[in-house]
Amino acid sequence: MFPMPGTPASSWATYHARLWSIFEGADPRVCAAFWLFGLVNNVLYVIILSAALDLVGPSVPKGAVLLADVIPSFLTKLTAPYYIHNVPYPVRILIFVALSTSGMLLVALTPASRDGSAIAWKMFGVVLASLSSGGGELSFLGLTHYYGQFSLAAWGSGTGGAGLIGAGAYVIATTTLGLSSRDSLFAFSFLPVIMLISFFAVLPRAPLKMAKGGYEAVAADEEHEDELEAEDEGLLDGSMHSTSGRSFRSISPQHKRKTTTLQDLKANLKRARGLFFPYMLPLLLVYVAEYTINQGVAPTLLFPLDHSPFAAYRSFYPTYNAIYQLGVFLSRSSTPFFRIHDLYFPSFLQCLNLLLLTLHALFDFIPSVWFVFGIVFWEGLLGGLVYVNTFAEITDNVRSEDREFSLGATSVSDSGGVCVAGFLGMAFEVWLCDWQVAHGRDYCRRL
């Protein structure tokens, strides 16, 4: 517990000692590299969504940008875990940087015409960036298998920071600095170079030697499985213990067995089936709920201006988004200090948030926008908690030979949830706005 003001100096010393003990054994280079991986891999996704209106204009539904930003990533996460292990990590990084940079340059340099051809080229650029983001997420999550739980904690914090930094950077560039949308996107297109530097100049390379040769083969029988749980030395010995009492463990390369491509596919399909109910489903549920709130319900959570801190109705939505992103950042940074093991409970709470805010959009019973601010912050906390604790639970509980695949394969759930929510959100927004107008609240028409 955090000491209260007036606490004796000895208690503060004890608190600081405990705080530092949490990070005992952490390699600063690993933490810095994975934080930057999480930030850069996700920040372009946020920037593209922030620029949606500027990209397609008012006549094209903004949900189209969301889907172009998510569906390619979803398809990549759905299929790549079954073949991407044949591509070495350095080659993957080069591919991801090339895809995301070329995609952002295509978005930025396509003429600002509103005709169908220009919009199509911009959407193609968004698709390229999305492919990079999806492949990057499953690859970096798989890479944490070799660097321990501090790398996973840093990755989660970086992805949470991407929401705050991405949305804020676009606003600062286009308003405070007065840059055009085209110039801003052009400048942001070079952010993936940070990922390149982080991988080749910051990240220690020794643990990557274990990543050669693909996934570990599935053990032939239970007795052999026990033999495969060998401890590795080096960075992994400094990995922190989770609250469940298990430590991060990795299998040694000498235990690998040669298998055919068909055997690998069958083994990975078996692994994926075992991941669905304990890990994939709760992550899918929380993303469907929170992105349906963000894309479909939040645009209709409007109050009379004289009962709000805003001067225009357009200010509600970006404020909700900023508060939500703050909650996500805090919860995705929380695993060194706080862990949850029941992933379904916060997922169901998120579904209750969706129900509560939908009912308010229909019946207008929440008395103040400040209560909505609190609910949206709570929504961000729940979403971030389920995301980062899902992968922490996999790290703790999945066998070493299955772990790299499992971390990457489970990442399909967040993109899948966003895809589902993209379609639901478009329907929700139209339905809720029409309902409000029919019942004398036409605020959603004044945006």
Domain of 316, CATH number, reads: 1.20.1250.20
Mean of the per-residue pLDDT values of the chain = 85
Confidence of residue 288 (pLDDT cuts 50, 70, 90): very high
6 occurs within a structural domain:
no
Confidence of residue 3 (pLDDT cuts 50, 70, 90): low
13 occurs within a structural domain:
no
Q: Are 282 and 345 in contact (CB under 8 A)?
A: no
Angle at 389 between CA 419 and CA 241, to 5 degrees: 155
Phi, psi (deg, nearest 5) at residue 341:
-120, -20
Residues in contact with 357: Cβ distance below 8 Å, sequence separation at least 6, in sequence order: 293, 297, 298, 301, 372, 375
Look at residue 118 in the predicted model and tell me its pLDDT: 87
Domain region containing 399? 24-441
DSSP, collapsed to helix, strand or coil, labels residue 1 as coil
Look at residue 8 in the predicted model and tell me its pLDDT: 63
Angle at 422 between CA 433 and CA 378, to 5 degrees: 80
85 occurs within a structural domain:
yes
**Is 367's pLDDT higher than 80?**
yes
% the chain with pLDDT above 70? 81
**Is 23's pLDDT higher than 50?**
yes
How far is the CA of 24 from the CAs of 10, 237, 336, in angstroms?
A: 21, 11, 11
Q: Pick the closest to residue 21 from 234, 237, 236, 240 (CA basis).
A: 240
Look at residue 365 in the predicted model and tell me its pLDDT: 97
HSE at residue 176, side-chain half, CA atoms within 13 A, is 6
14 occurs within a structural domain:
no
Residues in contact with 434: Cβ distance below 8 Å, sequence separation at least 6, in sequence order: none
The pair of three-digit structure tokens given for residue 50, joined into one six-digit string: 């922030």
Q: Pick the closest to residue 130 from 59, 69, 51, 216 (CA basis).
A: 69
**What is d(CA 375, CA 352) in angstroms, rounded to the nearest whole number?**
11
**Is 422's pLDDT higher than 70?**
yes
57 occurs within a structural domain:
yes
12 occurs within a structural domain:
no
The structure tokens 């790290």 sit at: 395
Domains identified in the chain, total number? 1
What distance separates the 2 farthest-apart alpha carbons in the chain? 71
Look at residue 247 in the predicted model and tell me its pLDDT: 39
The pair of three-digit structure tokens given for residue 215, joined into one six-digit string: 């996934």
447 occurs within a structural domain:
no
Look at residue 236 in the predicted model and tell me its pLDDT: 39
**What is d(CA 14, CA 354) in angstroms, rounded to the nearest whole number?**
41
132 occurs within a structural domain:
yes
